Amino acid sequence: MKVFITGGTGGIGKALTEHYLRDGHQVCICGGNQAAFAAAFPAPPPQLSFVELDVTDRAQTRAQIAAFAQGKLDVLIAAAGINDGAPVSGRPLDFDRAGKIFHVNLLGTLHSIEAALEQMLPHRQGRIALLSSAAGLVGYAQTPAYCSAKAALITLGESLALRYRDQGISVTCLVPGYIDTPLARATHPELDRMPFLISAEKAARIIVRSIERGVVRKVFPWQVYLVSLFLQALPRSWFRAWFSWSEK
């Protein structure tokens, strides 16, 4: 198979890259620069390639994915994303950073999907995966842009799954809770104390299995799914009261 993974040099993207490489697939990734790729894969196998790609650049994204696919792409995983990059408690909202979060997490994913569909639709075959977050299931005070962008991906994934289901394209939206990645640790220094924390490797296994099965939306681990259902069902005044209490 030919697999293109955005954000493939770190975190969940890197774990997914390693998973597909172990299975012998041809993988192309982007994420950071050549130095980031060398640090992530100091001895890359021949079936792994890297491109320096800014997914917020629509034309560049289409060109690079087309160059790798050469008319045939089996799997796209849009895992590129950023958050606030440092502990946010007590900080004023950085609107410049918020705008960048929307551009990378949402528009970057949209550009990647467009590029993948151009390669998949002629064959009426392909799998697309969007990496959202459990942060997109409810709104948290400290990360409004991140929550909003990830919420949009959940709706986008479900909409695209319905739109392309009769054209041979499956679309899966992954909604993980706390995953042990450098990006998560940058924002949560206390990450080890977070509930239901799982490794990037375990997350990758869940993601690959969900893509293969054509699951439309996968919230994991299961405890996070139950908690999210509870929080979504709460009257919003109760949710705000709970959030205020938990922040004390």
Query: Tens digit of pLDDT for each residue in 196-224?
Result: 999 999 999 999 999 999 999 999 999 98
Q: Say if residue 46's pLDDT is above 90.
A: yes
What is the rounded average pLDDT of the residues 135-150? Answer: 90
What is the rounded average pLDDT of the residues 190-195? Answer: 79
Cα distances (Å, whole numbers) of residue 12 to 48, 142, 165, 181, 198: 17, 23, 26, 7, 11
Looking at every residue in the chain, the average pLDDT score rounds to 92
pLDDT of residue 127: 98
Q: Which fold has domain 2-246?
A: Rossmann fold (3.40.50)
Of all residues in the chain, the percent with pLDDT exceeding 90 is 75
Q: Say if residue 248's pLDDT is above 60.
A: no
Per-residue buried b or exposed e for 156-173, using 16+ beta carbons within 10 Å of the residue's own CB: bbeebbeebeeeebbbbb
pLDDT of residue 105: 97
Q: Say if residue 87's pLDDT is above 70.
A: no
Q: For the whole model, what pTM was predicted?
A: 0.92
- 46 vs 227, more confident: 46
Distance of CA 128 to the CA centre of its chain: 11
Of all residues in the chain, the percent with pLDDT exceeding 70 is 95
Long-range contacts, 63-70 (Cβ 8 Å, 24+)? 64/30, 64/115, 65/4, 65/112, 65/115, 65/116, 65/118, 65/119, 66/115, 66/118, 66/119, 68/2, 68/4, 68/28, 69/2, 69/4, 69/119
Cα 12 from Cα 180, distance rounded (Å): 9
Residue 225 pLDDT class (50, 70, 90 cuts):
confident
Query: Tens digit of pLDDT for each residue in 12-30?
Result: 999 999 999 999 999 999 9
